[in-house]
Amino acid sequence: MKFFKPSLLFLLVLVFGTHNLLAQVKPIFINGEAQIIPELKDSANWIRTDLWVETEFDTDGDGKKDRMHVDVTRPQQTETEGLKLPVVYASSPYYAGTAGSAPIFWDVKHELGAVAKPRNKAEVVRTGKRPIISNTEIMLWVPRGYIVVHSSSPGTGLSQGSPTVGGDNESLAPKAVIEWLTGKDNGYTTPDGNEKVMAFWSIGKVGMTGTSYNGTLPLAAATTGVKGLEAIIPIAPNTSYYHYYRSNGLVRSPGGYLGEDIDVLYDFIHSGDESKRAYNNKTVRDTEMAQGMDRATGDYNDFWAGRDYINDMGPMKAALLMSHGFNDWNVMPEHSYRIYDAARAKGIPAKIYYHQNGHGGPPPFAMMNQWFTKYLHGVDNGVEEGPKAYIVRERDEQSNPTPYEDFPNPEASDVNFYLKAGAPAAGSMSLKKKTTGKQETLVDNYSFSGSALAQADYTEHRLIYLSPVLTEPIHISGIPKITVKLASNKPAANLSVWLVSLPWTEGRNAKITDNIITRGWADPQNHSSIRKGEPLVPGKFYEVTFDLQPDDQIIPAGQQIGLMIFSSDAEYTLLPKPGTELTIDLVGTVLTLPIVGGKGRMEKAVK
C-alpha cells in the first residue's frame, strides 16, 4: 500500500493559501512612481488578445447594439499567478487608417454667407490586422504594473457603428469598455457571437490618456461619470467642435487645415465596415451634419452644443491632468483651459501643464506616472497637492516646467491698452485712455499673410499699434481680450486679431515664441449673440468683444508688443474677394492683457 507523500508546494498551499503563494509579482513604487518590474519587462511574456465590447447604442442601423473592437496587453502573470492590475486605456478613430491626403476640404474662396460649392468625398481603405489594434502605451506602462487596453472608436476599424465626431456614442463607447473592465459581462470573443469574456485580471481602476482626438476621448468618457475611470491625462484635446471649427461666430479652420470642417473629419476617420458606410453617410454626414454645421453663418446652435464637452461635465469625477501647447494653432490652447477651469470649479482634482510649442506634447513622464500611481494604484504620493500649473518657460525643455500656484498666474491682473493713430504705418498703444481720437480704415486682402502684414512698414491692409520698447521683461499670463469698435462697408466681414512681438525674427534663429504672442477671430455680425448673427448695416459702428487665446509668455526687454487688426486671415478664415473696408474707432477699441504685476509692472517696463 502506497501512502501519498505531500510535496513542498502542497504543504505551502495548505499553510499560506494559494493567493499568498502565487501572487509573487507586485508593483514597485519609488518616490511615488511605479517602477519597472523585472518580471514584467519582457514583452515575449505578455498576453495579447482582442475582443468586442457591447455598448448601449445602435448607430449603424442594423438593429443590434454596436460592439467596439478592443485589444488587451497584459503580463502572463495575470493568467498564471492570479495577478490583478489597474488599466491604462487609450481609444482612437485613427488606429485602422484614415483618408490621408485625399482632397476633401471645402473651398474657402467665396463671399461670406454664400453657399460653397460641394466638396469632394473620400472612402477610407481600412488597414491593420487582428489582434493588435495599437502598440501605443504598452512599453511605458505594462512593465510598470499596468494592463494596457485599446479600442477603435465607433465606425472605425473593426468597431461597429458610425462615427459622429463628438456625438453621444463617442462618449458611451469608452464608457462601455470601462464598464467591462470593472466587471460587467458585456465582452464577447467575436463581433456577432454570444461567447462571453471577462476582464478577470483588472482591479477595476482605469486611467485614460491620448493626444488630439485620442485626447478628446478620455474627456468624453469622463463626462459620463462612469464608475472605475479614476484619472485622465488628455493631451491637446479638442473639447468643443464649435471652438475647433468656428470662432465667435466666424467660420474658421484649424491651423494647417484650411477648409476642414466636421464633415471632412467624419470622412477622414470613417474606416469601419464598408457595408454600413452608405447608411452612416446618409444618417450622420449628409443629414445631421449637413443640417447642423452651418458654414453659411458660423452661428452657435444645438448641433454644436451637443458636441461641446463643457456642457456634459456634470457627472465628471475623474482626476484631471491636462496638457497643451500655447502655440498649438490646430487644437488651440483654449480647449484645455476651459475644461481645467470647469473641473477645478467642481472640486475635481486637477492640474494643468502647458508648454510653449505646437500641437501635442505630453507632460513629463514622471508627472504622468505619479498621476496614475496615485489614482490607479492608490499610492498616497501627494501628487494632488502643491502647485496646480506647470509652465515650460520659453527657452526650457518640455521636461523641465516651472511650477506656479495656478494658471492664470494669481499675480496677474488686467491692464488696458488704448490706441493712437498711425495708419498706414504703425500707430501706438498707451496705458492712458484718450477721450478724443480718430478713425482708421483697413482694406481686406487675403493675398497678404498675417506674418507679412505684421512685418510690413506701410500697408493699407492692416492696422497695427505698438507699445513702447520694453525696458524690462513683461510676463503675460491668462486670457487677453479685446473690444473693437468697427464699421464695415459690407453686410459681412471677417475680423482677425494678432498680438505680436516685434521686431519680427526670421530664419533659423526664430523660436516658436518669438513673433506671435496670441491670436483671435470673430464675426462682427455676432456682436450681440453667438447664436444669432445679423447683417451689418454698412457704415454703422458696432462693438465686438471677444477673448484671444490663453497664453503664458514672457516678452523680453527690447521688444515691442503689437496689436494687429485685419480682416481675412489667409491661414484660417474664409477668403472673400479683396476690397471690404473695416473702419476702426480708436477711442472705442481697447486691448486688455493679463500682466503679472499689473499696471505698475507695465508702467515700469515702458519708461
Instruction: Exactly one of 159, 212, 336, 477 is catalytic; name it.
Output: 212
HEC string for 409-462: CCCEEEEEEEEECCCCCEEEEECCCCCCCCEEEEECCCCCCHHHHHHCCCCCCC
Contact between 423 and 440 under an 8 Å Cβ cutoff? The reply is yes
The identity of residue 447, as a single letter, is S
Instruction: List alpha helices for 40-122, DSSP H.
Output: 77-80
Cα separation, 249 vs 524, in Å, equals 8
Q: Which three cell numbers stand for residue 38?
A: 523585472
Number of separate helices (H) and strands (E) present in the chain: 14, 27
Give the whole-angstrom CA distance, residue 552 versus residue 474: 11
What is the secondary structure of 35-60 as a DSSP string? EPPGGG--GGGEEEEEEEEE-S---S
Angle, CA of 494, 497 and 501, to the nearest 5°: 155
Measured distance CA(102)–CA(95) in Å, rounded: 18
**Alpha helices by DSSP H, 160-289:** 169-181, 213-222, 241-245, 262-269, 277-280
C-alpha cell at 16: 499560506
Grid cell at residue 373: 500611481
Q: Report the 10 Å Cβ neighbour count for 404.
A: 20
Residue showing cell 465606425 = 155
| Calpha distance 363→324 (Å, rounded) | 9
**Do residues 309 and 242 touch, judged by C-beta distance below 8 A?**
no
d(CA 177, CA 184): 9
The 3-class SS string of 362-380 reads CCCHHHHHHHHHHHHHCCC
- Interstrand relation of 474-478 and 551-555 (parallel, antiparallel or unpaired): antiparallel
* CB half-sphere exposure, 401, CA atoms < 13 A: 28
Residue for grid cell 478713425: 439
The active-site residue out of 263, 267, 312, 328 is 328
Q: Which residue among 69, 359, 377, 527 is the active-site one?
A: 359
Closest CA to 165 of 11, 65, 278, 293: 293
| Whether the Cβ atoms of residue 54 and residue 188 lie closer than 8 Å to each other | yes
328 catalytic? Reply is: yes
Q: Residues 284, 163: contact at Cβ < 8 Å?
A: yes
396/403 Cα distance (integer angstroms):
13
Question: For residue 376, which of 148, 73, 135 has the smallest C-alpha distance?
Answer: 148
Question: Which residues does residue 215 pair with via DSSP β-bridges, in sequence order?
Answer: none
Residue from 230, 296, 224, 194 nearest 88 by CA? 230
DSSP 150-172: EEEPTTSTT--S---SSSTHHHH
Residues annotated as part of the active site: 212, 328, 359
